[in-house]
Each structure stands twice: as structure tokens, then as C-alpha cells.
Structure 1
């Protein structure tokens, strides 16, 4: 009887050790909290470094495109609105003393329609048609293009046209000036 009790006690002890050593049951799911950061970028505008608008006679017009102007908005803003503007300096030639000039107000700017856009919101050209062309100025910016609403990033590109109303008293020569696009 004593042996039976010892064997029974030994079996119970062995069962208890087996129970305690059994692997834990795994949970059917588990969560990991992951994070990432969207960085705030910049609002930039890029325009061609040079443009040859062509040639023409005194009293006539010279019409030429500047090349593609592009606004890139990577600010990641909740309101991704911006306005691109344009101004110009006096155009002058070294052919006389003092140099001969064509004023910015004698040069019309026509943004034309966008050539490409990305992102949401509303893209609007400053001058949709040639009939909407407006004179440039050296002090008062002319709206070239706008973007309203939308969120996050966006881009817009257009190829503006300049129409030089050559004064009748202009002398022959190559006239040089600067057209400046800005965005804010």
C-alpha cells in the first residue's frame, strides 16, 4: 500500500511538473503602433533663365513665349493656396547715350492656360486668352497664375507670352530687360 501511495504521489508530482512546464497559449492577434512624419516643404517657382522674343520694326509688335514657368508647392499645408505674380524692368539697348528704353508698360503679358497641373484645388490662369493680355509694370505685380483650396502638394506649369508694343521712336538694337515671376 505504501508503494501504491508513493507511486500515486510520484505520478501526481510528475503531472504537476508537466502542467507547470507546458507552453503558454499565444494571443490570436497583437498590435504595433507605428508612426511616420510628413515634412513641410517649400513653395518655389522656376522660370527660364533667358528668352529670345524675336524681332520687329518700330511701331510694330514683337510676340514671343518665355518658356515654361513652374510652381511647386510641397508645403503640405491644409490650405495649399498660392498666387504667382510677374513684374518686369525697363528694357534697354546700349545703342545710344543715354540708352534707348522700352518701358514695362509697353509690354503685355499673357499667361495662357496651364500646360500641366498636379494636386487638388482650383488652378486659374491670370490671362486665359490673348485678348486678356495685360501690361507689365516694374512696381505693381500682375497676377500670372493662382491656386486656391486643395491640401498637401501641388504643381502648375504655364508658358507665358510677351507682346512688345515697340514704340515708333525706338532705335535699332537688342533690348534687354528682366521679367521676374514670384510666388507667395
Structure 2
């Protein structure tokens, strides 16, 4: 009888091990809810935060480069055209009261050729050479650079030159103003 109980116990234990070792049944398929986000592209312009054009005497000129200006078009448009423009404020010195000023129309701007581009289409400087330089304005935007045609993203970088035609009646001092590039 003892042998029968031992055999019965061993059989029960073996059945239990077999039950516990049986793999779980797998589902024939399963799903995962998945998401991603497509962001809207942008059209941006990035300019240097400051620029020092140098110095000069009344009646002379002061010529200096502004620093790299970059248009970044990540809109991925079928027609990736854009126009960058530039305006300037009145430049003034704080060494006298009222401050002395130099109007933006006394400052010529020329973009020059692109220093770097990416993407397709045609990149055109507003003023390709020094001979094409045009006066800035606080009211009427001057075309700095354009891009026409092409598809998808693109970038253009240029380093514009400013020529200050210092008025004869200018007083000594450091003149400060703002040059603003915009793109649309």
C-alpha cells in the first residue's frame, strides 16, 4: 500500500510539473496603438546680434560687413519661393542733447553673392556687386535676397556690406541703430 501511495504521489507530482511547464497559448496577432507628429515647417531669418562697421570722418565713408544673414525655409512647399527684405532705423549718438542722427538713406546696402545655399531653385542677391548698392530706408523695404522655384526645404546665407556715407555735419560719437531683415 505504501508503494501505491508513493506511486500515486509521484504521478500527481509529475502531472503538476507538466501542468506548470506547459507554455501559455500565444494570440495569433496583437495590436499596438502608435502615434507620431508632423510639425509645420517654418520660414525664418537669422542675423548677427551686433555689428561694428568701423569708423570714419565727416564727409567720408565707413564700410563694413554686417555678418552672416541666413534664411532657413523648412516649409517643404511645392513652390519654395521667398523674398528677404531689409530696413533700418535712424542711427543716433547719445553724446549730445538732442542726439545727432544719421538717416538710413545715408547708408547703402549690398547683399553680394550667397556664401552658402542648400536645396533647389534659383537664389538671387538683391544687389550682386558694390555697384548695385542701394540706400536703406526706415519705411520702404529693400530686397536683400530672393529664392524662386524649387521644392522642399532650402537655405541661403550671405554677408551684406553696409556703406555709411557720413554727412559733413556729423559730430564725433558712436552712432547706433537697428538693421532689420525680414522674410516672406
In structure 2, how many angstroms separate the alpha carbons of the residues matched to 1:140 and 1:127? 16
Distance 1:179 1:162 in 2: 10
The residue number in structure 1 matching 2:159 is 159
CA deviation after TM superposition for structure 1 residue 39, in Å: 4.3
Determine the C-alpha separation between the residues in 1 that align with 2:136 and 2:160.
Answer: 12
Query: Any idea what the Cα deviations from partners look like across 1:111-137, whole Å, max 9, x if unmatched?
Result: 000000000000000000000000000
Q: Any idea what the Cα deviations from partners look like across 1:87-130, whole Å, max 9, x if unmatched?
A: 00000001211100000000000100000000000000000000
**Counterpart in 2 of 1:99?**
99
Q: Give 5+ residue unaligned stretches, structure 1.
A: 1-35
> 1:72, 1:156 within 8 Å by CA — same for their partners in 2?
yes
Alignment length (residue pairs): 149
Shift in Å, 1:37: 7.8
Corresponding position of 1:146: 146
Find the counterpart in structure 1 of residue 121 from structure 2.
121
Contact 1:40 1:76 in 2 (8 A): no
How far apart are the structure 1 equivalents of 2:78 and 2:113?
A: 26
Distance of 1:44 and 1:69 partners within structure 2:
11
> Over residues 50-70 of structure 1, what are the superposed CA-to-partner deviations in whole Å (9 max), with x where a residue is unaligned?
000000000000000000000
Q: Distance in 2 between matches of 1:61 and 1:67?
A: 19
Asked if 1:48 corresponds to 2:52, the answer is: no
Moved over 6 A (4+): none
For residues 42-84 of structure 1, give each alpha carbon's deviation from its aligned partner in whole angstroms, at most 9, with x where no partner exists.
Answer: 0000000000000000000000000000000000100000000
Give the structure 1 partner of residue 109 of structure 2. 109
Question: Contact between 1:83 and 1:147, CA under 8 Å: does it hold in 2?
Answer: yes
What displacement does 1:40 show? 3.1
- Aligned-residue Cα RMSD (Å) equals 1.2
Unpaired stretches in structure 2, ≥5 consecutive residues: 1-35
Aligned match of 1:89:
89
When normalised by structure 1's length, the TM-score is: 0.79
Give the aligned partner of residue 76 of structure 2: 76
